[in-house]
Amino acid sequence: MTTPDEFIAAAKRGSVEQARTMLAKDPSLADAEEAQGISAVLRAAYFQRGEVAEVIEGPRAASPEGEGRRKDKASGGEHQRKSR
């Protein structure tokens, strides 16, 4: 099984296919965070790995919980993502 740290490392490298494979086996990795609380999608974006960020956000953006909404773990609230 893939650890969150392994998934985040793949996101930092820009390994699109590896990220897809890991997410297919364990969709919860889309919510992976580093010890500092930095998410995999934020790390991918920081390292300019836009395609990987889109792969990570794909399942989350299409979730039935509400289009473009996600829970903010720190505040317990919801935040609206802006449409592109």
pLDDT value, residue 43: 94
pTM (predicted TM-score): 0.68
pLDDT for residue 29: 95
Domain that holds residue 42: 4-80
pLDDT: is 20 or 1 the higher one? 20
Q: State the pLDDT at residue 80.
A: 46
Separation of alpha carbons 83 and 11, rounded Å = 23
Tokens, residue 12: 């930092």
pLDDT tens digits along 29-50: 999 999 999 999 999 999 999 9
Give me the number of domains the chain comprises: 1
pLDDT digits (tens, 9 = 90+) for 12-35: 999 999 999 999 999 999 999 999
